[in-house]
Chains A and B, each alone.
Chain A
Amino acid sequence: KAGVTQTPRYLIKTRGQQVTLSCSPISGHRSVSWYQQTPGQGLQFLFEYFSETQRNKGNFPGRFSGRQFSNSRSEMNVSTLELGDSALYLCASSLNVGQETQYFGPGTRLLVL
């Protein structure tokens, strides 16, 4: 079974632009979570989607948003990019919410210049 896939793997943007990252979960998984990883703040939870609904959101500004499609694929969007948004964005999927283990994708490395 294929793992979690994320596209693109690398991205360079400039301040003020917006970006969309994509995540395809493991087949059959319905929950998708997003995390931001930076050297300074470590791994921080962004949000989780299940059945096309956002179930929880971390402490990030409204510039960070996401959505989930009926096939469980998810996208996250960051508008008005800031230098501090440079990070590794990790997507994780699980069968359902609650007790299931999350499996991570390879991440998208975003560099904001």
Chain B
Amino acid sequence: AQTVTQSQPEMSVQEAETVTLSCTYDTSESDYYLFWYKQPPSRQMILVIRQEAYKQQNATENRFSVNFQKAAKSFSLKISDSQLGDAAMYFCAYRSGHTGTASKLTFGTGTRLQVTL
């Protein structure tokens, strides 16, 4: 079974600074997808970024980028120019890439990000 580990329960960053959230995962599969979701106090899960394991290039979405290290099974999220609105719980998630299989996401325990002035 796949597992996802987020070792940082809480992180804090000053506005306009950069912060990196860590995520490691364990799988025996070669084809899979990794995601970062954000959950603000409203509790709505919002997709931040997605990475396909077969792609060597790290995904980026505006101020959000990932450092995907497949051999090390590491998938960290970097938030640049942090804004107050980035304050939320961040979840790392894994999904198998086997075609036709269920879309089950396996989540980490989350990292609560605080953004200070």
Is B one of A's binding partners? yes
Complex: A97 Cα to B91 Cα, angstroms: 21
| 26 A-B pairs with C-beta separation under 8 A | A31-B103, A33-B104, A33-B105, A35-B105, A43-B91, A45-B104, A45-B106, A48-B102, A56-B101, A56-B104, A58-B104, A90-B45, A92-B45, A97-B102, A98-B100, A98-B101, A99-B33, A100-B103, A101-B50, A102-B47, A103-B47, A104-B37, A105-B44, A106-B43, A107-B44, A109-B43
Chain B interface residues toward A at CB < 8 A: 33, 35, 37, 42-47, 50, 91, 97-110
* Chief secondary structure at chain B's binding surface: loop
In the complex the two chains form, is B103's CB within 8 Å of A33's CB? yes
Tell me how many residue pairs across A and B have CB atoms closer than 8 Å.
61
Once A42-B110, A45-B106 are accepted as A-B contacts, the answer to whether A88 and B43 lie under 8 Å apart by CB is yes
